[in-house]
Each structure stands twice: as structure tokens, then as C-alpha cells.
Structure 1
Amino acid sequence: MTDPKTANTIEDLQKALVDVLTKPQLDFAQLVDISTRLSRLDPDYVRFASDGGLIDRLGQELVARQETAVSELVKNAYDADAQEVTVTFVNAETAGGSLHLVDDGHGMNRDQLINGFMRLASNEKQAFPVSPLYRRARAGRKGIGRFSTQRLGRRLELVTQTADAAHAWKLSIDWTKFASGTDLHQIATRVEMVPKERVKGTTLNILGLRDRWTDAQISRVFRYVEDLLDPFPAAGPTLGFAPDRADTDPGFKAIFLRRTNNEERLVASEDRMVLEHAIAKIYAEVDADGKAWTTLVSGKLGLNEKEPLRLNDSESQTTFRYLRNVKLDAHYFIYDNELMPSQLKGRLQRLGNEQGGFRLYRNGFRVLPYGERRNDWLGLDEESRRRAVLPAVANFNWLGAISIVDPDHDIFFEVSSREGLAMNDAMAELIKFGHAVAVKCAMRIGSIRGRKTKAGGPARTPPRAQPTTPEVLRDAAADLRRDPHGWNTNPSSVLEGTAAPHSTPEQSTGQPGSMPTSQASSREVTSQLLVAAANEIEERDKEIEMLRVLSSLGLVVATFTHEARNRVMSMRDQLAILLADTTLPEESLRRIVDLRAATNDLKSYLGYFEHSLSEVQKRELEQQDVSALMYEFVRAFDPISKRWNISIETYIDEGLTSKPMLASEWSSILTNLFTNSVKAIKRAERDHGQILIRAVRTQNWIQVDFMDNGDGISHENWDRIFDPFFTLSATSLDDDLTGMGLGLKIVRDTVSSRNGQVFVIDPPENFQACMRVRIPADQSPSL
């Protein structure tokens, strides 16, 4: 018998291999070792080998931040068609704790576990771009999940089961064994059959956490995955109806918990981060007899009222002729600092702007386009614009769902294009029902809060036209020249309208018509100053008029942006229908997924543009949730940066709130800094550009460092770059990268106007330039 440990020739290794294969109990470790050593003696071919330390390096380099690692695991649950994932941090206040992720997705069988999770660089997500049940576009990055578990902790226990299996599979990995100097193929991981924990799903137990976890970091993970979540009330269990199709996507929920010394508390969820900040929860229904009821619940206002719905004041309760078994479930938001934390207000407003409204479900299956952005099927936006009802009632203020039961599809009919329901008597009643519930509940809450609920009062008399300031100044100057004796020459009195005749020269000197030379000279100087002031004001008026022209142009752009977004939404709906077609080949599905990704990028651009335009029109200064603004900016510009092969990394503290300013000012600051970084990176001809944005609270400042690995800024230009028309852009660059040299001046003027600071500092290692912006932080306590 040949000793496999000492065998080092082809003949000896062949004999050792035969010995191993003929033993009654096969030693797989020896089999793999001998086969690998034998392959290295191949005289004609060589093969790559992997060091065990590769796993550690990949974990650190592919998943640099711990928050990113957890978010990737949550995305994997979404890709597995999970409806819910619970993430629990146990004794994680210091390093050494544990992390447990439990999802109810489809799980894995043994083959999927070996050929998917245990296979480096698996092509599963390229081969199958949508999830098998709900046809979700894959959210997780390709093959990064296993490295996320290694980045987070020292050991992993994975338990997974599928619905059709009688047992589960358990995988136990000790990541400390993957050390440099050890062949990767020699490190074996135990897999065993165990009893099922539940019908289906996967559990990840990550033990020996490498880092501590704060509540702010856990909340940041929620931010990273919130685009996957559905903040609307569930159309199934909550409203009492089950979907009529098994492949109807019920939505995805993520719950983040913290357990310390066996005491568990909620850190982040949709309820915690979104829904609990609603001022009220509204339930309404039309029963089997057509009678309508509303229930209004508000912990903030101490309300719990159930009343019959009356469309007309003359009736005690409305009875619908066609509607039966309809249910409405909604959260009502008023974006007021008195009703929600100021640091969350901006993010919640943006959520309302993007997803606000009432979705419609028939037999548990969502009906498009109802509830999509800018779809005002209940007429709530129109009601808000009319201002007959004064409380906030627009779609922006609601996250809600209406569910109808129509099992035979004989009450509500789809239009021929399958985009919506035909307008018949039942649909007309449904619209009346939803509109009435929203308006009446909003007015009831407004009344309880002591707010005026209906428009009224005498009409205002328009003011008389007044002469312009330049006209007043020029008239005063002309009067001085015509009658030097008749006016008080104090310029302030002219502007205030209190100019009065002087005493006459006869009164002052006793000589008719005489005036001292010095007084005449003073009057001439005053007249010239008044004319100069009039000219300067006119120039400023011309600038204001130009701003009006630009504002009008902005309205035109906003209109076309809105229309473009509607077309994009329609395209996205059509692509969703194509993705649901199970007869299409995989190649076609991949192309559809790519097209939907491009459509989503376009939607993101248009959405950010539209939101920025709407913010520009605002005049009221408000505390700004800088953290949310920066996350929104990064999401909007991430596709652009990828097109230029530039990665954007962020380190953004939670709860950064600035003193009152405009959200559009932050958009301007960040956009100008971003475009300058892109131009610097392109000038440096980097193969891979890097931008790092760090935002932290330092004493009384919100401090934003914006750095890149471009061509840098020489010290002699540190001050000059803020001068108007100073630019480092070369004319040979593409048109979309050239600049006029006004961007950083705009940044400086904006920041200075808010008592802030902007300047250049020495960049950290691996970066060439760093701009630092400081804006005064809000000092008021959170509500």
C-alpha cells in the first residue's frame, strides 16, 4: 500500500488513488488531495490553484462596510421570493455578538447549496435574471452573499429548506480556517441533513461578529434596502382577502431587531421608520349590503371613531347600489415638525412624493396604474389644487390601498389594453367612496387640530398700482434740478415718501433768489446719486425679469419631465407584463431585465430632476434632513457614475439636520461638487474613478467632505477655484464635461448665504482632492 502523504510521482499517486477508491469507507479528503496533487504533475497543462486566504481578501475588498454586507444578505432574501426577513442583532453592542437572518423564501436543496452558495463566481443570477415565483428583478450583487457572511463574523451556520423537502440542510463554516498558506480545496465544510425548522426559507446565524453595531448603523442598513420594501398596507391579510394568483407578489418586509440580555426591541422596520409617523390610520368598508363605514384611529390625537359614511348630509348612511365587499386601509401623513421628528420629515416627504396615493387591488391582485406616481384616480390632487377643502388631502399625504372582491370579474371590467378598469357604474361608485373617505377623514382631523377646513371669506380688493422705485427716484432728481429750493435733499426721506419743501432762500438768507454755492453743489450730487440708484435698481429688475423667464422655462421643463415620467411608468408596466410571461425564453427575459434597468435609471433621473424643480419653487426655509438628501442624491447619480466607471462610496451619519434652508440648495451644492469631481477624474484619465462622500456632525456644524481621485487641485488654486469663470476644464473634453467656471462660485455663494463655509483641504490617502462644506447644524431638540 502506497502512503498518500509521501507519494510524489505519477505512479505513486496513481497507486495511492487506487488504494483510496478501493477502501470500503471512502475518504473524500484524501481523494481530493491526491487528485489535486496528481493534476499538478500533468506534463502538458497547468491549472490555477487558490489560496485559502483568498476568501478573507474577497470578503474585505468586495464588502468593505459592515452595513453593505447585511444589506446584501437582505437582498438575497428578496431574490429568493421571501415575503419577510427578520434581522436580529444579539449582544452586538460590542464585537463578538451574533447576527441572525430568517427569511421565508424558497430555500435551497443540497444541489443548490453546493452549486450556488458554495461555488465562487456563480452565474446563477445572470442565467436567471428574475426570481422564479414573483418574477422580481434580482437585487443582490452577483455572488457576494457568502463573502458578506465572512465579512461580518468568524463563523456561519446556515439552515435551509424547500417546501417540497421532508428535511433541511445545515452548513457550518469556520471562516478562521481560510488562512493564507492553505490550499482552498483542502478546507472542507460540513453539510448535514437536519429536521426542518419551518415549511421553507433560510436561516443565517453569523457568530463572532467582527464589529460592534449601533442603532444608527442598523437604521442605515434599512436605508440601503428600503427601495425593495412596500410601505403600503398589505392587500391580502390586512384587508381580509387572499390573492387569486399564487404568483402575485405580496411585497417584501424587513424587520430589524436588537436583543440584549434576552430583552428584545425593534430598531427599524416600515412601521417604525415610516408608518408610525402617520397622524392617523383610516379603515373603511362597504359591506355585503352596500352600507359604508369609516374608522379613524389616531394615538397622537386620542381618536378611535367608527361612523357611517355619508356622501350627502341629508342621509344617515350611504348605501351604494353596485359596491359590495370593498375595504380601504390607509395611513394619513401631515408633514409638520409638530407631528414627526424633523430629521425624518424630509425622507417621509420624499416617500410620499414617490409612492403616495391609493393602490387598487382586485381579488388580492394589484391593478395598474392606480396608485402610481401622478395617477390621481380618486381626484385628491385635484381637490387639493381647488383649495375648497383646506386640510392636506393630496395623494402625497396618503399611503393606502383599496381592495375589491370580484371573483367572477363581472362587476369591474378591464379595458382592452389591460391598463386599468373600464369606467362603469361600479367604478364610478368606487371613486366616490375612496374620495369621500379621504376628504372626510382629513377634514375631521383638521377640525380636531383647530384648523380651518373649508375655504371662504371676502374677496380681497387688489391694491392700487404704485410708481416703481426707479420712477420715484428719477422724479425726485428731476424736481431737485427744476426747483432746487423746494425739496428736502435727504435721500432717505425721498425713499420713505416724507420729502418736504425746505424753507425758501428768502427765509434763510433774507436775499431773494440767493443760495449758497455749497448747498447748490450738494443738491446736484444728491440728484446724481438718486439717478445712479435708479439705474442700479433697474439693472437688478432686469436680472429679476431674467429669473422670471428662467422660471417660466423651468415650468416648461417640469411639464415635459412630468409627461416623460408618465411615459416611462407606462413602459415599466408593459415590461412587468412581459416579465410575467413564463413562455418567453431566458435570453428574451435577460434583455427585458436590461431594458427595465435602463428604464428605472431614466425614471430615477427624471424623478430627481422633477423633485429638484419642485423644490426650487419653494420659498419657505425649513430644517433639512441632510442624511436623507444625500442618500437620495447618491441613488439618483449612481447610474451616471457607473456609466463613467466611477464608484461612489459614502459614510453618512444618521439624523444630520441643518438649520432652515432650501432642499434645492443642497441639490445644487452636491451636483456641482459631483460634476467637478467627474471632470477631474476624466482629466486624470483614470481607469476606475473613485468618489467618497463623508458627512458627519462636528460640534455646531454639519461637515461634508467630497473627495475624488482625479487630477487634484494645486495649492495656488485653492482660493481661485471659487472665483467666477475660473475653470480647470480642458476644451478637448466631451461637451457634457466642460464647464463655465461658475459651479464652485455657486456653491460658495449658497453656503455663505447660510453662514456656512466651503474650502479645500488636503485629501486623505488614495484621493487627490477634497472639498469641505460646513453648514450650521440645527440645534433644536427632536420632537
Structure 2
Amino acid sequence: MGREFGGVRIYRNGFRVQPYGEPSDDWLALAYDTGRRNLLVPANNFNFFGHVVLSAVSNPLLEETSSREGLIENEAFEELRSFTRWALEWAALRVAATRKRKQRAGEKGFTSTRVRPSTVVDEILRRHDSTHNATGAEGTSRQDDLRQLAQVVRQYEADVEAKIAASIEYEEMLRILASLGLSISVFGHEVKGAESALLANLLLLEDIIGEVPDNRLQHDLRSQHADLQRSAERLFDIGGYIGALMSRTESRELRDLSVKGAIDRFTRQFENYMAKQRVIFDIDVEPEELRTTPMHASELDSVLLNFLTNAIKSMKRAKVDDRRIRIEARRHGRHIVVAFEDNGMGIPEDLQDRVFDPFFTTTMGEDDGVAGPGTGLGLKIVSDVAESYGGTANVGIPTEGYACRMEFSVLSAEGAA
């Protein structure tokens, strides 16, 4: 709500003055200072809900521009901006001070009041040692208990710190992927725009090659033309998929999805490429009217794409000639389970519990031909999507003829209700 409705707006004579308070407007420089950590407290624009009320009678020096976009930035406006910013900053810093939090990056002599549990236990043990220095078996037993407690607490702290470090690394990578998504969106748009021109030039080139008098040269040119045609088709397949994915991502509205419709659309999108890779799809959705709990279509697509890219890498490593992928969907109680099977290498039993950990991968540097080399985040994202919609992701037991089975579950539309 803060990102959508937060910010300090301005009303003059009862009417809203744009653009103050819009998500993209930083008229109080709150985003600027928090982004550069001049302020360490939560004091961004979306942390506040409020407005400034002006009137032509009480504030005659504060006038709108002739275009009605903003106020004239005169001395009165600068005074208004300075006072509003001071008031908000004062309030936020006062809250931080009450909570014993550091308020500014340059704050000197700040000492956090937060104490590690192990420090508390060590202090109790030290006091106990000094006051019960020779108290017999009971005192010794209590000291041993305290030392054991201190060891357990320190181990727990180390585990928590390791998880926090891994979480920070994961979030940093997600931010990188999010920024890459913007570039990929532009790429998909540009590919779509260049498709017609490139196809037309390929047809023209084919006609020109047909007029080459040297048969041997013509044969070589036709071979290169065919390679170029295949590469272009592959590029258009990926570009089309990205374009369709981004168009569905534009809407933030959640809606229940037809599982069969999503799987059919996904397999059609990669049908040509899979045929070139000699991969046969087998789709088994029962009943066909299965619908998920409300979710983003792009999230289900990302799950299928992650399973597909991993399957391709596995089948390439296994060097199987008869490459097969089976996608199955069933209702299990309140959940829908989508299973993705392939006849590649499979996953060793000792690694099955780790494949959904962030940055864990057995295919670093391998290119699947669709999404490129992996980052070790694909299956972690699959797991996160499943958990956010009441489900799980796990390695299942493959059916006969297949070596690997990945299962993804979410609440069904009926289960969510």
C-alpha cells in the first residue's frame, strides 16, 4: 500500500496538485537520502501517508504554474519544502531514537543496545564461576550446564548468521535478475520488430543464391542460408516467448490459471525448438479443468521453463538419442501437483535434498540452448513460487522409462476457497 498510495501530497483550494506524492516524485528528497544512507531510519516516500493543505487566501505566495503541473518554485515553496521535510525527518528520527536504533550514517559514538545471546550466557557463566568457585558437585554440575548452553547458543548464532548471509546473497542476485528483466523486455520487443524484415531478407537472399551460376558455390551458400534460417527461427521462438511472458507480467492482478492451458501454451511456444532437439513431449493433465489458486501466469511459466532447461541439460549429458519429456498434472486433496519428467541423467540421491538450495547447481557453465548457463537459482525460485501459493517443490520418484521427476504443487482454486 505504501508503494501505491504512500507519499506526501499537496492540495490547494481543495484540488490535488500534481505530481507531489506520486511514486516517481521525490520532492522532499526522502528517497535520495535514504538511498544514499544519509538517513538509516525508514524514511522513504512510501513510509509516509499524508498531505499538505494550502489555500489561496492563507498562502497567497504559493501558486500553481500556468500548466497546473506543480507549484511555482519560489522562496515560499522552498520554505514549504524545507519545513515539511524537517517535520517528517524529526518524527522518524525520534522514533528511531526511542527504539535505540542508529539514525544517521555519520552518527558518532553510537553503541547498539542489542546484545548477542551468547554474550549474556558468557556473562552469567563468568559471574557463576566467580561466586561459586568451590561449591562441590552441585555447583560443578550447574557450571557444566551453563557451558553446554553457551556452546549450543553460539552454534545457533553461527547457523543464523550463515542463513542471513545466504539470504542477503540471494536477494542481491534477485535484484540483478530483476534489472536484467527490464533489458530482456526491451530485447523481446526489438526481436519482434526485426522479425518481418529479417524473414523478408532471408527470402530475398534465397532468390539471389538461386541465381549463382557456380553449382558448388550455390550448394555451400544454401547450406549457410539454412543455418542462418534455423538460427533466426530459434531467435524468434525465444523472442516470442519473452514478448508473451512480459505482456502477461504487465498486469499485477492475480487470477486462477488453467493448468492444461498453461502447459499447452508453453509446449507450443517451444514446439519447433524441441523438434530440432529431437525431444518428444507427452502431456497428461487429468482432469482437464484443473485450475490453480490465483497467481501470476508468468510464475507458472517460469516454473515450467526452469524444469525444461534442467531437463535439456540432463539429456544432453546423458547423450540419449530418444529424448522424452513428460508433463503430468493431478489433483491431490486441496493441491494441484505438476510433475515434470525426463529421461536424462537423473539426480543422485545424496543431492536430492540440496537441489532447491540457492546457488546449488550441478550444471555450472552448461548451456541448455534456451536460457543459457545456469545461476543456481532456478529451482530455488521454483520452490519460492510453490511456497508462496501454499505448495511445495520436491524431487519425486520417476515413472517407468524416465530418470528424473520434479514435482511442483500449489493450492487448487477449490482448495484455496
The TM-score with structure 1 as length reference comes to 0.30
| Cα-Cα RMSD | 4.7
Q: Distance in 2 between matches of 1:458 and 1:476?
A: 30
Residues 722-741 of structure 1: matches in 2 within 5 Å? 722-729=356-363, 738-741=373-376
Which residue does the alignment assign to 2:297? 663
Task: Quote the residue 1:688 is aligned against.
Answer: 322
Asked if structure 2 preserves the Cα contact closer than 8 Å seen for 1:478 and 1:527, the reply is no
Query: Is residue 187–residue 239 contact of structure 2 (8 Å, CA) maintained in 1?
Result: no
Could you say which residue in structure 2 is the equivalent of 1:355?
none
1:525 is aligned to: 113
Aligned with 2:235: secondary structure?
helix
**Equivalence for 1:778:** 413
From 185, 189, 193, the equivalent of 1:562 is 189
| Amino acid corresponding to residue 40 of structure 2 in structure 1 | P
Identify the residue that residue 20 of structure 2 maps to in structure 1: 462
Partner of 1:364: none
Indicate if the aligned counterparts of 1:725 and 1:741 stay in contact, CA closer than 8 A. Answer: yes
Divergent runs of 4+, >6 A: 539-549, 574-580, 590-598
Conserved in 2, the CA contact under 8 Å of 1:575 and 1:596? yes
Could you say if the C-alpha distance between residues 459 and 638 of structure 1 is closer, same or farther in structure 2, counting changes exceeding 3 Å?
A: same
1:640 is paired with a residue whose SS is helix
Alpha carbons 1:763, 1:770 under 8 Å: kept = yes
Question: Is the strand fraction higher in 1 or 2?
Answer: 1
Distance 1:665 1:556 in 2: 19
Q: Deviations over 1:271-321 (max 9, x none)?
A: xxxxxxxxxxxxxxxxxxxxxxxxxxxxxxxxxxxxxxxxxxxxxxxxxxx
Alignment CA distance shift 1:659-1:462 (3 Å): same
Kept in 1, the 8 Å contact 2:170–2:358? The answer is no
Counterpart among 389, 393, 408 of residue 758 in structure 1: 393
For 1:735 and 1:762, how far apart are their aligned partners in 2?
24
Quickly say closer, same or farther: Cα 1:765–1:565, change in 2 above 3 A. same
Equivalent of residue 748 in structure 1, options 383, 405, 416: 383
Q: Which amino acid aligns with 2:182?
A: L
Paired position in structure 1 for 2:108: none
Shift of 1:640: 3.0
Offset of residue 559 of structure 1: 2.4
Residue range with higher mean Cα deviation, 549-558 or 465-474: 465-474
1:714 aligned residue (314, 324, 348): 348
Match of 1:628 among 233, 252, 261: 261
Q: What's the offset of the Cα at 1:765?
A: 0.7
Distance 1:459 1:625, change over 3 A: farther
Structure 2 CA distance for partners of 1:546 and 1:703, relative to 1, 3 Å: closer
SS in 2 for 1:704: strand
Q: Deviation at 1:674?
A: 0.9
Matched residue, 1:14: none
Please report how far the alpha carbon of residue 622 of structure 1 lies from its aligned counterpart in structure 2 after TM superposition.
Answer: 2.0
For 1:768 and 1:735, the matched residues in 2 are separated by 18
Indicate if the aligned counterparts of 2:335 and 2:415 stay in contact, CA closer than 8 A.
no
Partner of 2:106: none
CA deviation string 1:326-358 (max 9, x = no partner): xxxxxxxxxxxxxxxxxxxxxxxxxxxxxxxxx
Checking the alignment, whether the CA contact within 8 Å between 1:758 and 1:773 is kept in structure 2 is yes
Note the C-alpha offset of 1:601.
4.4
For 1:765, what is the secondary structure of its paired residue?
coil
Measured in 1, the distance between the counterparts of 2:341 and 2:170 equals 34
Query: Which residues of 2 match residues 288-687 of structure 1 at below 5 A?
Result: 459-460=17-18, 462-463=20-21, 465=28, 466=30, 468=34, 470-471=40-41, 475-476=93-94, 479=97, 525=113, 551-572=178-199, 599-653=232-286, 654-687=288-321
Q: Which residue of 2 aligns with 1:64?
A: none
Task: Report the CA distance shift for 1:574/1:725 in structure 2 as closer, same or farther (over 3 A).
Answer: closer
Secondary structure of the corresponding residue to residue 293 of structure 2: strand
- Equivalent residue number for residue 151 of structure 2: none
* AA matched with 1:567: A
The structure-2 alpha-carbon separation of the partners of 1:712 and 1:611, relative to structure 1 and needing over 3 Å to count, comes to same
**Secondary structure class of the residue paired with 1:570:** helix
Following TM superposition, by how much is the alpha carbon of 1:651 offset from its aligned partner in structure 2, in angstroms? 1.8
**Displacement, 1:775?**
1.2
The answer to whether the 8 Å contact 2:310/2:368 transfers is no
Which one of the candidate residues 388, 395, 402 is aligned to 1:767? 402
Give how far 1:646 is off. 2.3
Following TM superposition, by how much is the alpha carbon of 1:756 offset from its aligned partner in structure 2, in angstroms? 1.0
Higher RCO (CA-CA < 8 Å; seq separation 6+): 2
Tell me the residue number matched to 1:445: none
Offset from partner CA, 1:468-510 (integer Å, 9 cap, x none) = 583369945985xxxxxxx5x598xx99xxxxxxxxxxxxxxx
- Alpha carbons 1:679, 1:738 under 8 Å: kept: no
Segments of structure 1 that go 5 or more residues without pairing to the other structure are 1-456, 480-486, 496-522, 529-536
In the TM superposition, what is the alpha-carbon distance from 1:525 to its structure 2 partner? 1.9
Residues 780, 545 of structure 1: alpha-carbon distance in 2 compared, 3 angstrom cutoff: closer
Q: Is the 8 A contact 2:256 2:291 kept in 1?
A: yes
Query: 1:194-228 deviations in whole A, cap 9, x for unaligned?
Result: xxxxxxxxxxxxxxxxxxxxxxxxxxxxxxxxxxx
User: What letter is aligned with 1:644?
Assistant: Q
Deviation at 1:461, TM superposition (A): 5.4
Instruction: Name the structure 1 match of 2:335.
Output: 701
Q: What are the residue-to-residue correspondences of 1:55-66 with 2, within 5 Å?
A: none
CA distance in 2, matches of 1:664, 1:525: 44
One-letter amino acid matched to 1:655: E
> Identity of counterpart residues, as a percentage?
31
Q: Deviations over 1:664-717 (max 9, x none)?
A: 111211111111111221222212221111123344222211001111123332
Relative to structure 1, the CA distance from residue 757 to residue 780 in structure 2 (aligned partners, 3 Å threshold; closer, same or farther) is closer
What is the letter of the counterpart of residue 525 of structure 1? T
Q: Gapped runs of 5+ residues in structure 2?
A: 1-14, 22-26, 44-91, 104-110, 117-163, 212-217
Shift of 1:629: 1.8
Q: For each residue in 1:542-594, what CA deviation from the matched residue of structure 2 results, as whole angstroms up to 9, or x when unmatched?
A: 998986775454333322322222221234456789999xx99xx99x99999
Please tell me whether the aligned partners of residues 312 and 368 of structure 2 are also in contact (alpha carbons under 8 angstroms): no
Rounded Cα–Cα distance in structure 1 between residues aligned with 2:374 and 2:183:
24
SS of the residue aligned with 1:695? strand
Is contact 1:568–1:602 with CA below 8 Å preserved after alignment?
Answer: no
Tell me the secondary structure at the aligned position of residue 657 of structure 1: coil
Compared CA separation, residues 693 and 564, structure 1 to 2 (3 A) = same
The amino acid across from 2:239 in the alignment is L
- After superposition, the Cα gap between the structure-2 partners of 1:557 and 1:461, relative to the gap in structure 1 and judged at 3 Å, is closer
Q: Which residue of 2 aligns with 1:95?
A: none
The one-letter code sitting in structure 2 at the alignment partner of 1:728 is: T
SS in 2 for 1:774: strand
Structure 1 pair 458–545 and aligned structure 2 pair: CA distance change class (3 A): farther
Q: Does the CA contact (< 8 Å) of 1:726 and 1:741 recur in 2?
A: yes
Kindly provide the amino acid, as one letter, of the partner of residue 409 in structure 2: R
| Structure with the higher helix share, 1 or 2 | 2
How many residue pairs end up in the alignment? 276
